[in-house]
Chains A and B, each alone.
Chain A
């Protein structure tokens, strides 16, 4: 079955450390996205990629970096510059960006990052 795989499910980061969250999809989707979810807030867009070797900043890109070297993969690095990285991170994909009217977004199961 096609879908999005995020790993690891839980991740612990020490102060000053960079960590990378993995996101892989086998849906043949061109567009991929990273969202951050905090309690009591809606999902906020960190970065998105419309196509391989291209990506754009979302609303809260500071302290994060991404790459899109393969269509299937869109890893997110949380750098030491991100002052409050503890959150639930969700990866999503869509057939295209901008989206088509009859096709929505598919989400992964998420990675919970905790700073220790």
Chain B
């Protein structure tokens, strides 16, 4: 059974800092891994999707990496801004069984001006 863990649960950084959010998963048999952003009381906005055959994906100041052998993905945010404050969720789309999307509990990021 796939399990996804995100550490830390919360992170507070000063504006301008580069930061890394971590995601680990127990079963490497995945179709892809997706990073989402969730603002308070809102739905999920997709940030990046990494296919199982890829090592990383980039969009603007965001870079996501995937290492299936170690069961890890990281989301790197460069030059953080107060507008980046949100909860970041990673989700692994697992092969086998019911092929469900399994979510971590998220990392709540606060970027202080």
* Residues on A facing B (Cβ under 8 Å): 6, 33, 40-43, 45, 48, 56, 58-59, 88, 90, 92, 97-110, 112
Contact = CB atoms under 8 A, between A and B. Distances in A.
B113 interface: no
Contacts of B93: 99, 104-105
B34 A56 contact: no
Interface SS majority for chain B = strand
A105 B34 contact: yes
24 contacts: A33-B101, A40-B105, A42-B4, A42-B103, A43-B91, A58-B100, A90-B43, A98-B31, A99-B99, A100-B31, A101-B31, A102-B32, A102-B51, A104-B32, A104-B46, A104-B49, A104-B93, A105-B34, A105-B93, A105-B101, A107-B43, A107-B44, A110-B42, A112-B41
A97 to B, nearest CB: 7
Interface string B46-66: 100101110000000000000
B69 interface: no
Nearest to A41: B105
B95 interface: yes
Contact of A109 (B43, B46, B49, B91): B43
Contacts of A105: 34, 46, 91, 93, 101
Given A88-B41, A105-B34, 7 more contacts: A40-B105, A42-B104, A92-B44, A98-B99, A101-B53, A106-B46, A112-B41
Query: Which of B36, B43, B104, B105 lies at the interface centre, i.e. has the most chain A CB atoms within 10 A of its CB?
Result: B43
A99 B102 CA distance: 13
B106 to A, nearest CB: 7
A97 B98 CA distance: 9
Contact of A42 (B41, B45, B52, B106): B106
A40 B43 CA distance: 16
A30 B93 CA distance: 17
A112 B43 CA distance: 11
A3 B65 CA distance: 27
B58 to A, nearest CB: 16
Nearest to A97: B99
